[in-house]
Chains A and B, each alone.
Chain A
Amino acid sequence: MTTTGTAVFFDGLTSRRQDVHVALEHDLLILRPDGSRLDVWPYDALRELSAPDGMLRLSREGGPPLARLEIRDAALAGDVRRLSPRLGASLVAESGVTRKVVFWSLFAVVSLTIFGFFGIPQIAAAVTPLLPWSVDQRMGRAADVQLRAMLPTGPGDFECGAGSQERPGREALDRLSERLSDAAGLPVPVRIIAVRSEMVNALALPGGPIYLMDGLLQESISGDEIAGVLAHEIGHVAHRDGTRHALAAGGTSLVLGFVIGDFVGGAAAIAIAQAASEASYSREAERDADMYAVGLMKSLGADAKAVGTLLTRLTARDREDGKAAEDKEKKDQAEKPEAKDEGGSIMDWLSSHPQTAERQSAIDKAAGEGPTTPIMDAADYLALRRVCGPSR
């Protein structure tokens, strides 16, 4: 018994549309309306192609690649499906490829993630000591230019110390940085920049420049505390933490960013993950910088315990003040994500500062006991506090 039905035929040579009859005999016969034979397609050469719902779109393996037989008659399509053993061959092969793609992509993602988060920082750590210091300096200069444009500052120059009222402070700061720089004896000159900003922060750029924010100056109670903070930042410069970090972050984003390509949302995931890995990475770096600072302060005969006291006091006050301080802290953070965060919030985990008490006790242990002399006299310290203008 043969089944027949209607279909549409395109010969793949011209755009002529031919309404045909299909007869299912020992082969699939394509017949003109007058009953003459147009073409014969063997069942095992039939391949199904993607098509709109309700249509069976066929091509013939080995025939003209664009010849098409389109069957919209459901009963006829069903019979063709039953008779053709290799109808789905191309579609099945395609879904096999898709499965392989998904599986190996997942595998590659896992490998790349491990490489991106563990391999690249290791490589960066290994490569950084081999780089000349001029690389650090160039990075630092580039970052300096960017930060000057980005950081919100009060009225006046970005850098404090130019005005006539500010000059004594500038001179005191220069004396202090010269002492620290000489004691550190780094291959690059350390340059300390007093920044007209209310942020309670200090940060070291790769290769030397160190920002000392006015906000932090105002929170200090002695020259030793300022010297301690600066010594800590010099430690970051000496250990080339900034350079290593920039290399690692750049490498990771280059590798992962390119694979992710255009997909929105993946970038955010990377950013979160990176911030998280940064915190654990920085903890060691912070402790090392603390120890470096203690050594530097001791070599100058100053009170090495001062390295941590400012941070400890800020933390304690923050906890006591409770809600109000936390809100202010949050405001500070909204203005500048890098602002110090010692609050007991969830974000604490993501902040780059190890537990303060833990740090202070390590510092105290390393500092030891013994007589110390203040690093600067009271007059110099008062002048330094006014380096960004008369106290507010």
Chain B
Amino acid sequence: MDIPAVSDSSWTESVRPKFHGSARAMFPVVLKGLFLTIITLGIYRFWYMTNVRRFLWNNTEVDGDFLEYTGRGVELFIGFLIAVAVLVPFYAMLFLAPLYMGAEAAAVAQGLYGFALLLLAQYALYRARRYRLTRTIWRGVRFQQSGSGWGYAWRSLLWLILTVLTLGLAYPWMRAGLERYKMTNTWYGDQQGAFSATGGQLFWRTLLVWLAALVVIGGPIAFVAGMEATGNIGAASPAHALILVSVIGFIVLVPVYWAVEFRWWANGCSVGPAAAACDLGNFAFFKVYLGYLGVALLFGLVVGAIGLGIGFALHSGGVLEGMAAQARPPVVFFVAFGAFYFLVGLVFAALWQVFGVRPIWRKSFESCEIRGLGALMAAQSVTPEANAFGEGIADAIDFGGF
């Protein structure tokens, strides 16, 4: 890979970030990480995640200089241990409550636990964001997040209640409110972030997607349900094929919605004098999914062919019949089957990282222009970086993502 010559951006020009990580460079990182993750029953995943982030950050270039990720696997691991310490008694109570309580008391207790878990999840989400930001360095200055995890958790809970009460109508304003909290608490050195996008904008921009979803997804389901309710069609009539329309509609509309929302979000973000302007296409994320689907399908075909070949070889060799005659097939059979299953799952997961996560990362960055970057001069913030708790509970609850 060639490093581009140092660009000399003038103060007014806008700068487009660039991502240089190729699939070929990422594949070994992912495959090795996933393999070690499997044989250590998941313990290695903190180091794996760290390596993937390093790859993504290290290959992201903004105005000639690359991002740096300074997080370490051991930090995430310690965070995980803390989360286990907090969550295990919690889960144990959840598991034992129905045994020692009456049915009603157990239901109430489980409801309360669910509520607490939701709050904890939001807290963890915010803390995880803080961890990632404080481990992100650009031009020798680190990002930082102020605000409090519990403050964010309560805010998101109140917003969630409001959204439920308004049957989802408040959702765009919830997104805007929470993003505003996150961005105004985001710092690049001593430069504060801001969020200028509004819930009203998101509402109008996504209205069409929601309406399309109502027609394409809700329509066929309502039609078929109506027909079934009136007894006009049997168990498996051609009308049921309409459900396929719903499924396809869902597959297309979710990434489209995601892209529209991302564009809205990115356009609202700024740090100090630098503001983003995003021109992500409506179908950009959908294309990523389509690409991944194609690659996965191809791999699936190869695996299927290999599986058939092995099956045929065993069959013609009389091995299968020999096993069927025995009461207990040899353990080797199960071990081999298990190993094959693991290997295939491993490659599928790796393919998702390389052909799903990587292009989404790339498009998220490359679709944004940053204006006023030349005027952004930050001094190192005096606040220390987030402690070594890593992402703690967020990892144990597992939110995925970056």
Contact = CB atoms under 8 A, between A and B. Distances in A.
B47 A101 contact: yes
A101 B41 CA distance: 12
The residue in A52, A106, A112 that gathers the most chain B C-beta atoms within 10 A of its C-beta is A52
Nearest to A69: B140
Interface in A257-274: 258-266, 268-269, 272
Contact of B329 (A64, A142, A266, A349): A349
Contacts of B100: 135, 138
A93 B352 CA distance: 31
Interface in A220-246: none
Interface stretch (B58-66, B113-121, B224-232, B353-361): B58-66
B91 interface: yes
- Of the listed residues B68, B329, B398, the one surrounded by the most CB atoms of chain A closer than 10 A to its CB is B68
Contact of A260 (B41, B68, B342): B41
B1 A272 contact: no
B236 interface: no
Interface in B331-360: 334, 338, 341-342, 345-346, 349
Contacts of B325: 344
B45 interface: yes
A51 B327 CA distance: 57
Contacts of A68: 68, 137, 140
Contacts of B103: 141
B44 interface: yes
A101 B376 CA distance: 41
Contacts of B235: none
B140 A135 contact: no
Contacts of B54: 50
B2 interface: yes
B43 A268 contact: no
Interface in A130-188: 135, 138-139, 141-142
A6 to B, nearest CB: 9
Interface in A321-372: 344-346, 348-349, 355
B395 A261 contact: yes
B380 interface: yes
Contacts, number: 165
Interface range for B: 35 or more
A259 B41 contact: yes
Nearest to A348: B327
Contact of A265 (B68, B324, B341): B341
A117 to B, nearest CB: 14
A53 B345 CA distance: 29
Interface in B29-77: 36-45, 47, 54, 58-59, 61, 64-66, 68-70, 72-74, 77
Contacts of B372: none
Given A13-B380, A258-B91, A260-B42, A66 B66 contact: no
A258 B263 CA distance: 37
B289 interface: no
Given A15-B188, A50-B69, A105 B377 contact: no
A97 interface: yes
A139 B96 CA distance: 10
Contacts of A272: 334, 338
A260 B59 CA distance: 30
Interface of B: 1-3, 6, 20, 25, 36-45, 47, 54, 58-59, 61, 64-66, 68-70, 72-74, 77, 80, 84, 88, 91-92, 95, 98-100, 103, 137-142, 188-189, 323-325, 327-329, 334, 338, 341-342, 345-346, 349, 376-380, 395-396, 398, 400
22 contacts: A10-B139, A12-B140, A17-B64, A49-B70, A50-B69, A52-B61, A54-B1, A55-B3, A55-B66, A94-B72, A105-B40, A105-B41, A109-B40, A112-B41, A261-B42, A261-B80, A262-B42, A263-B38, A263-B41, A266-B41, A346-B324, A349-B327
Given A14-B377, A68-B140, 10 more contacts: A15-B140, A15-B378, A19-B6, A50-B54, A66-B380, A101-B73, A101-B77, A261-B45, A262-B45, A263-B42
What are the 8 tightest A-B residue pairs by CB atom distance, in nearest-first order? Answer: A10-B140, A105-B40, A262-B398, A105-B43, A265-B345, A15-B139, A15-B378, A15-B141
